[in-house]
Amino acid sequence: MKVIVFGAAGRAGRAIVTEALTAGHDVTAAVRDPAKLSPADQLTMVRADVRDPDSVRAAIAGHDAVISAIGPAGRHAHGLYSDAARALVPAMQSTGVDRLIAITSSGVRRDDPNHARWYRCLARTLMNELYGDMRLMESIITESAVDWTFVRPTRLTDDPPTATYRVQDGETPSGGWKVPVADVARFIIEELDRHRWSHAAPTLAR
């Protein structure tokens, strides 16, 4: 499968690229600065700005699926997620690319019954702007004809992959509050092949 990863130079994006290459996919890394990634077999690097509809359209043409692992440098989105959605949706529709898997966060659902009290407070104060823009991204995409999956991890860690993480649709697994980024990457690449979570929001936690 030909897969393009936006945000490929970031923490989650690098893990996804590695997992996709290991699985034998032809991978394109869409980044603002290709020099940030090391060359690899079956890896193509393209310069693209996810906020620029023209560069997004040119980048995704000819691919079978799009993965969004975009994220801001800090805790403020400054419209990054919603701007990306506004660029991705028409670009996918005009180029005939149907499948989109996008990473957001377990914090997107404000009424998640399994959120700890401290996390609920954090999500509504310090992280409110970030999660609000993620919600807007999800809303823009769900209103389109794109075949979407929103992967909502809990707090990402650099722990080794476990393969023992838990997944629930639309809410955090009880007692879960973190998950290795390597497990998230593996889940996403497996979803490309198995297609079990179309139009769903699987939430991952250990």
pLDDT in tens, 129-168: 999 999 999 999 999 999 999 999 999 999 999 989 999 9
pLDDT in tens, 41-84: 789 999 999 999 999 999 999 999 999 999 998 889 999 999 99
Q: What is the pTM of this model?
A: 0.95
Say which CATH number the domain at 8 has: 3.40.50.720
CB under 8 A, 24+ apart: contacts of 180-186: 180/156, 180/206, 181/11, 181/12, 181/15, 181/153, 181/156, 181/157, 182/15, 182/19, 184/12, 184/15, 184/103, 184/151, 184/153, 184/156, 185/12, 185/15, 185/16, 185/18, 185/19, 186/19, 186/161
CA atoms of 139 and 147, how far apart (whole Å): 13
Task: Give Cα separations from 69 to 59, 124, 143 (angstroms).
Answer: 15, 23, 20
Domain, as residue range, for 167: 2-205
Quote the number of domains for the chain.
1
pLDDT in tens, 166-183: 999 999 999 999 999 999
